[in-house]
Chains A and B, each alone.
Chain A
Amino acid sequence: GNSVTQMEGPVTLSEEAFLTINCTYTATGYPSLFWYVQYPGEGLQLLLKATKADDKGSNKGFEATYRKETTSFHLEKGSVQVSDSAVYFCALSSGSARQLTFGSGTQLTVLP
């Protein structure tokens, strides 16, 4: 079956540092890949997505590239802010929302 593996957290960075959160996946076929973010006390929100190989999703300064050859979808941001402190979830789907498979989440804390 499908699975998603994320780097273990928590991750603590200083403001303006570079962020990478690793995500690798196992899936049959050609899944769509997603990053969701959960701010404290809130539900998950879609941050970005990519639907085919070599696509780059981007939003709010975050980027992730769909790498089929390495089955990866790493999340990056060049300069993090305190407001980026949240839990980040990598996810994949083979097309239906009921098939969404989530990683275990990575807690990010950005210090001023």
Chain B
Amino acid sequence: NAGVTQTPKFQVLKTGQSMTLQCAQDMNHEYMSWYRQDPGMGLRLIHYSVGAGITDQGEVPNGYNVSRSTTEDFPLRLLSAAPSQTSVYFCASSRTESSTNEKLFFGSGTQLSVL
């Protein structure tokens, strides 16, 4: 089983460039989300989606866009990259939004550096 697949694994951008981080899951999960992981901090939620066509902001949404046109895919777009967006990005999914009854499946991450 592929689970949650993220691409690319590594990316270097220049300030002002745009790019899209890809995330796909093959488990027919309703809930998908994007986190960023910074040194000394826990994971912080950027955006999430509870189903195709439905997205909402998390704790740190500024500078990022998402869309959910299919159940499987949840791309994260950086509109104009800034050095503050240097981080490791994780996509995660679960069958439903419930954290009590479901577990989150994480991708292996994208390490992004913005120069």
B58 in the interface (beta carbon within 8 A): yes
* In the assembled complex, B112 has its CB within 8 A of some CB on chain A: no
CB of B107 to closest CB in A, whole Å: 5
Query: Do A98 and B48 have beta carbons less than 8 Å apart?
Result: yes
- In the complex, what distance in Å separates the CA atom of A45 from the CA atom of B58? 21
- What class of interface size applies to chain A in its complex with B? 20 to 34
The segment from B11-19, B37-45, B67-75, B79-87 found at the interface with A is: B37-45
B108 within 8 A of A: yes
* B16 smallest CB distance to A (angstroms): 29
Closest to A52 in B: B100
Contact among B45, B58, B92, B108 with A42 in the assembled complex (CB-CB below 8 Å): B108
**Chain A residues near B100 (CB-CB < 8 A):** 32, 51, 93, 95
Q: Mark B94-105, 1 if CB is under 8 A from A, else 0.
A: 100111101111
**Complex formed: what's the CA distance from A91 to B94 in Å?**
16
Q: Given A43-B106, A43-B108, A44-B104, does the pair A97, B33 have CB atoms closer than 8 Å?
A: yes
Classify chain B's interface size.
Answer: 20 to 34
Question: Chain B residues with Cβ under 8 A from A34's Cβ?
Answer: 99
Partner-binding segment picked from A12-20, A68-76, A102-110 = A102-110
A101–B94 Cα distance when bound, in Å, is 16
Complex Cα distance, B104 from A41, in Å, reads: 18
Q: Which residue in chain B gives the minimum CB-CB distance to A89?
A: B42
B4 CB within 8 Å of chain A: yes
Partner of A43, one of B4, B56, B94: B4
The digit string for A7-46, where 1 denotes a CB below 8 A from any CB of B, is 0000000000000000000000000101000000111111
Measured CA separation A46–B92 after assembly (Å): 12
Contact partners of A41 in chain B: CB under 8 A: 108
A-B contact pairs, 7 of them (CB 8 A): A32-B100, A44-B106, A45-B106, A46-B104, A95-B98, A104-B40, A105-B42
